[in-house]
């Protein structure tokens, strides 16, 4: 396995979906190739960062409540859609 | 005709009965009790407060229209989550940018011998990049938003909303293999975009 082929397996490896045999080959390559290890680390880290950045901002609006104005807008839009 | 087993608890069933009977107060209860997590979904998917609120309104209008057809084969919250995701997808499509960078330009590059061209490979991978700071969160969000729409959508559904491959394929009306390919390329591209911001040149 070369580095390019190694990259093709990253997603399935990260998802835990790589068959045992391919995983063994993949891990052998990783053990000998620091650049690919670095790449895997940063690949996994970027997925974590994407997830974290989409979680509610602690300083942002209250996450589990619909603002009153929006509740009213939704109910008003329902009335309008029934009238049309 | 067989139907899926009912997944509703007594409170959900009572609310559903009231909605179907046209009880006005029940509609407000539905929005207040279930709207919060749905708004969180549209915020995650759209990354913009105005769009997230528009999508939530669209989602509830869809839900109100479809409430008579809801079979109770899933929890009410699960059904509403799916509707919120769908409303977000519709919104994303209407906001499709006129020009997008090709995904190819964001993927790792190789030299003539097949080795990857090293980029900013060294960056903290132990959670040290603090996402508490609004600026950092926005940089990551900007990178997600830079992905071409068809790739961004798969990344949002699989890695953020945690839908599985089949659910994502069904929602986007593409094959599971297309979902897998797009997810892989979206993750590679996102990693490279973030490396431009957070990485440093390997020694």
- Counting one residue from chain A and one from chain B, the pairs whose CB atoms sit within 8 A come to 138
Query: Chain A: nearest CA to B27, how far in angstroms?
Result: 8
Residue B124 has pLDDT above 70, yes or no: no
**Interface predicted TM-score of the whole assembly (ipTM), two decimals:** 0.82
Distance CA A4, CA B116 (A): 7
Cβ pair B49:A3 closer than 8 A: no
Q: Mean pLDDT throughout B96-122?
A: 77
CATH of the domain at A59: 1.10.10
Domain that holds residue A29: 3-83
Whether the predicted pLDDT of B43 surpasses 50: yes
With 0-12 CB in 10 A as exposed, 13-18 as middle and 19+ as buried, what is B158?
Answer: buried
User: CB B123 to CB A7 under 8 A?
Assistant: no
Query: Average pLDDT, stretch B90-115?
Result: 80
**Contact criterion met (CB < 8 Å) for B53 and A70:** yes
**Which residue in chain A is spatially nearest to B50 when comparing CA positions?**
A70
Residue of B nearest to A3 (CA): B115
Q: What's the CATH number of domain B103-198, 3.30.70.2860, 3.20.20.190, 3.20.20.70, 1.10.10.10?
A: 1.10.10.10
Residue B203 has pLDDT above 60, yes or no: no
Nearest to B202 among A38, A46, A56 (CB): A38
Tell me the pLDDT band of A31, cut-offs 50, 70 and 90: very high
Position B11 scores a pLDDT of: 86
Top-level class of domain B10-94: mainly alpha
Chain A residues closer than 8 Å to B194 by CB = 42, 46, 49
CB-CB contact of A47 with B129 (8 Å): no
Residues A45 and B130: beta-carbon distance below 8 Å = no
Closest CA relative to residue B119, chosen from B101, B102, B106: B106
Please write the tens of the pLDDT for every residue from B5-33.
567 788 888 999 999 998 999 999 999 99
pLDDT over 50 at B1, yes or no: no
DSSP of A1-70: --HHHHHHTHHHHHTT-S-HHHHHHHHHHHHH-HHHHHHHHHHHHHHHHHHHHHSPPTTSS-TT---HHH
pLDDT at B2: 46
> In sequence order, which residues have a C-beta less than 8 Å from that of residue B135 and are 6 or more positions away?
none
* Shortest Cα distance, chain A CAs vs residue B154, angstroms: 13
A5 CB within 8 Å of a chain B CB: no
How high is the pLDDT of residue A59?
61
Residues composing chain A:
84
Taking the Cβ of residue A16 and every Cβ of chain B, the question of whether any pair is shorter than 8 Å is answered with no
DSSP state of B113: T
Choose the closest CB to A41 out of B57, B125, B136. B125
pLDDT value, residue B128 = 60
Q: Does residue B127 have a pLDDT over 80?
A: no
Contact B122, A38 (CB under 8 A): yes
What pLDDT is stored for residue B88 in this prediction?
A: 95
Overall number of domains in chain A: 1
- Closest Cα of chain B to A48: distance in Å? 8
A48, A51, A66 member nearest B31 (Cβ)? A66
Q: How confident is the model at residue B130 (pLDDT cuts 50, 70, 90)?
A: low
pLDDT in tens, B154-202: 999 999 999 999 999 999 999 999 999 999 999 999 999 998 888 766 5
Pick B131's closest partner by Cβ from A11, A12, A53.
A53
């Amino acid at each position: 396995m070369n580095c390019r082929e190694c990259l093709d397996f990253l997603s399935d490896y990260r998802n835990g979906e790589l068959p045992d045999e391919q995983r063994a080959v993949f891990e052998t390559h990783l053990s000998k190739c620091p650049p690919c290890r670095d790449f895997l680390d940063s690949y996994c880290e970027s997925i974590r960062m994407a997830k974290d950045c989409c979680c509610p901002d602690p300083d942002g609006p209250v996450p589990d409540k619909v603002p009153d104005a929006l509740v009213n807008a939704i109910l008003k839009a329902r009335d309008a859609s029934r009238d049309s | 005709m067989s139907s899926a087993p009912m997944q509703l608890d007594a409170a959900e069933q009572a609310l559903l009965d009231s909605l179907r009977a046209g009880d006005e107060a029940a509609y407000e209860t539905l929005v207040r009790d279930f709207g919060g997590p749905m708004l969180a979904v549209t915020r995650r998917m759209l990354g913009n407060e105005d769009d997230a609120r528009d999508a939530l309104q669209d989602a509830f209008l869809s839900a109100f229209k479809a409430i008579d057809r809801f079979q109770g084969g899933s929890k009410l919250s699960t059904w509403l989550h799916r509707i919120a995701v769908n409303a977000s997808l519709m919104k994303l499509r209407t906001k499709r940018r006129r020009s997008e960078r090709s995904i190819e330009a964001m993927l790792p590059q190789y030299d003539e011998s097949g080795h990857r061209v090293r980029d900013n490979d060294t960056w903290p991978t132990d959670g040290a990049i603090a996402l508490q700071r609004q600026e950092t969160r926005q940089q990551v969000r900007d990178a997600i938003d830079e992905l071409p729409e068809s790739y961004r959508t798969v990344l949002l559904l699989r890695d953020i909303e945690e839908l599985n491959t089949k659910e994502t394929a069904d929602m986007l009306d593409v094959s599971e293999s297309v979902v897998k390919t797009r997810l892989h390329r979206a993750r590679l591209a996102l990693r490279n975009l973030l490396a431009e911001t957070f990485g440093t040149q390997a020694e």
